[in-house]
Amino acid sequence: MTVDPEVLRLAQQMAKEMVANGAMATVLTGSHLRGEAHAESDVDLIFIGRDEEGRLERRGNHLVSVHWRSAEDLTSDFDNPAVAGGLVPAWRHALVIDDPDGIASQLKRKAESWTWDSISRKCDAWVAEQISTLAEEVHRLVGSLRVGNVLMAAVVRSVLATRLATVIAVHLRLFYDTENRLWDTVDREMGDHWTALQAKALGIGNESFRVTCKASLELYAVAVIRTKHLFNKSQYQVVEHACAIAGHPIQSSSSTVDR
């Protein structure tokens, strides 16, 4: 990989500075490693040593995303379905800047050997929980449209349109080396119908506001149908009703509702 010498110098300089603050390793990730950086791309740096809120800094001509994480929490992230799809390729392509104790290198090796099979059951449970939880947003969107609360409808429409992609990515066991590719990756795997609904739900095109909201509701129903074998009886009752009020009723399956 070829990294902009200015970015590499910046990462090395910050690595030296952060040692005094307890950094045990420094890792560069993101667009500057993928050769996709543009003038406004940030420099993504992970400092291993403690946990604190991430922050942004201006360093010369660059915006720097500073992420402090403990080694323990970084390791546990590999067992988290919500982040694994983006985390694993990020670590596989990461550039270790400073790592005297080999902590970052160990995490990189873990990413290189990691497979979805290691958390398969956890993924299925997470997907079912997320989609059944999103049923509340379906209720809110349907209710908002009925009473003419356009602002709330717009917010909830966007929640469904954005959050469902991550859930489906986990269900399909997809990797995406940047969140910028998440929606495109899911679209490719789900096909033209999903892609068209996703675009409408996000307001891409000339459709009316109501049409975009209905697209978001249908997107939810498609996600339910794709994953309905994962729900337990209680979850299925929730998503079944949500799909019904969304205008996309689904057929009950004895193999699903008896779980």
pLDDT tens, residue order, the chain (259 aa): 678 899 999 999 999 999 988 999 999 999 888 888 888 899 999 999 987 888 999 999 899 999 999 999 999 999 999 999 999 999 999 999 999 999 999 999 999 999 999 999 999 999 999 999 999 999 999 999 999 999 999 999 999 999 999 999 999 999 998 888 999 999 999 999 999 999 999 999 899 999 999 999 999 999 999 999 999 999 999 999 999 999 999 975 544 444 4
Identify the CATH homologous superfamily for domain 5-114: Beta Polymerase, domain 2 (3.30.460.10)
Residue 1: its pLDDT value, please?
65
Q: Which pair of structure tokens corresponds to residue 73?
A: 């929490």
Helix and strand element counts for the chain (H, E): 13, 5
Residue 217: its pLDDT value, please?
98
Give me the DSSP letters along 227-259: HGGG--HHHHHHHHHHHHHHT------HHHHT-
Closest Cα to residue 94, out of 80, 110, 115, 108? Answer: 108
How many of the other CB atoms lie within 10 Å of CB of 23? Answer: 20
Pair 203, 220: CB distance under 8 Å:
no
Residue 33: its pLDDT value, please?
87
CATH topology for the 120-257 domain:
Four Helix Bundle (Hemerythrin (Met), subunit A) (1.20.120)
> Residue ranges per domain, the chain?
5-114, 120-257
What is the C-alpha to C-alpha distance for residues 187 and 109, in angstroms, rounded to an integer?
30
What is the C-alpha to C-alpha distance for residues 50 and 22, in angstroms, rounded to an integer?
7
Distances (CA, A) of 24 to 14, 20, 28, 91, 174: 13, 10, 14, 17, 31
Residue whose tokens read 């954005």: 162
What is the C-alpha to C-alpha distance for residues 43 and 41, in angstroms, rounded to an integer?
7
Name the amino acid, one letter, at 58. Answer: R
What is the C-alpha to C-alpha distance for residues 69 and 8, in angstroms, rounded to an integer?
21
Can you list the alpha helix ranges (DSSP code H) found in 148-208?
150-171, 182-190, 192-201
Pair 218, 248: CB distance under 8 Å:
yes
Q: Which pair of structure tokens corresponds to residue 255?
A: 């193999």
Give the chain's radius of gyration (CA, Å). 21
